[in-house]
Amino acid sequence: MGKKTNIQLMVDGRRIDGRLPEQLREIEMKIGEIENADGSARVRFGNTEALVAVYGPRSLFPKFLQESDMAILRVVYSMAPFSVDERKNPAPDRRSIEISKVTKDALSGAVFLEEFPRTVIDVYEYIIQADGSTRVTAINAASLALASAGIPMKDLVAACSVGKIGDVLIVDLCGKEDNYSESDMAVAMMPSKGLITLLQMDGRLTKEEVLQLLKKAEENCKKIYEMQKKALLEKFKVVGED
Ligand code: ADP
């Protein structure tokens, strides 16, 4: 399905927020702000901000939900009522149910679930400010929150959005670009394994454009991955070690 394109998103090579086509927004990553959680992270891409808390692995009840040979991962994605201009109804809607499901799939392959049979790992994702690309921002935070909970992982999951305005390819879409650009793609990866764990597309693209956007997504996921590793190293640096 095509998207609405009735606003000017690019002027003299600059985007609506002044960025160049391949420029990420300012990114901030904080780990461990929720004391009660086993792991937590807050990630901000410009005006999009996700706060994620991880609980577990912990025993799962009722017992019939348990998997005898692995942990189950539960993900809840939710936009806070104050995250957008008009109050968002906090009740789960179709969009948040879908995002919770694809996020679970994007993260599951990165966690050694088989090490914790009969348990559950709960991932609560809250969008506290929404300005485009919320699902990928939340995936970046969830991956950090899982790692900070000490849960063994095969790799971190790094995610970003890419898209197209006119014939210009762009990265890290803000809200207006998300809503009015020709197309957008959300991509999550396990960078050191070269695996894609989430790929969603909206709008129209040629096959060549899809491949070009995937390449841009991979380059930017790698940049985000480096920031994630740096944030974890800073948080868990042993005192006295450089
Ligand atoms: P994503 O946030 O992962 O890109 P969508 O493409 O569904 O997911 O949403 C695009 C953007 O639209 C969001 O980032 C947010 O800025 C805005 N948006 C989504 N849902 C709402 C809502 N209920 N009210 C206001 N804005 C919303």
State pTM to two decimals. 0.96
The residue among 229, 7, 44 whose CA lies nearest residue 127 is 44
Show me where the domains of the chain are located: 24-237
pLDDT in tens, 83-97: 999 999 999 999 999
Element at 146 (helix H, strand E): helix 134-148
pLDDT > 90 in the chain, percent: 95
pLDDT in tens, 131-153: 999 999 999 999 999 999 999 99
Look at residue 239 in the predicted model and tell me its pLDDT: 65
Give the residue, by CA position, lying nearest to ligand 1 atom 6: 178
CB 75 within 8 A of CB 123: yes
Look at residue 237 in the predicted model and tell me its pLDDT: 85
pLDDT in tens, 14-71: 999 999 999 999 999 999 999 999 999 999 999 999 999 999 999 999 999 999 999 9
pLDDT of 232 > 70? The answer is yes
pLDDT in tens, 96-128: 999 999 999 999 999 999 999 999 999 999 999
The residue among 127, 103, 123 whose CA lies nearest residue 47 is 127
**Is the CB of 125 within 6 Å of ligand 1?**
no
Topology classification of domain 24-237: Ribosomal Protein S5; domain 2 (3.30.230)
Name residues whose C-beta falls within 8 Å of residue 74's C-beta, 6 or more positions apart in sequence: 104, 120, 121, 122, 123
Give the residue, by CA position, lying nearest to ligand 1 atom 11: 132
Query: What is the average pLDDT across 223-228?
Result: 98
**Is the CB of 84 within 6 Å of ligand 1?**
yes
CB atoms within 10 A of CB 1: 5
pLDDT of 78 > 60? The answer is yes
Strands 10-11 and 14-15: antiparallel
Look at residue 143 in the predicted model and tell me its pLDDT: 98
Q: What atom of ligand 1 comes closest to residue 137's alpha carbon?
A: 3
Look at residue 7 in the predicted model and tell me its pLDDT: 84
Look at residue 1 in the predicted model and tell me its pLDDT: 47
CB atoms within 10 A of CB 147: 26
Which of the four pLDDT bands, split at 50, 70 and 90, describes residue 4?
A: low
Q: What's the mean pLDDT when you consider all of the chain? A: 95
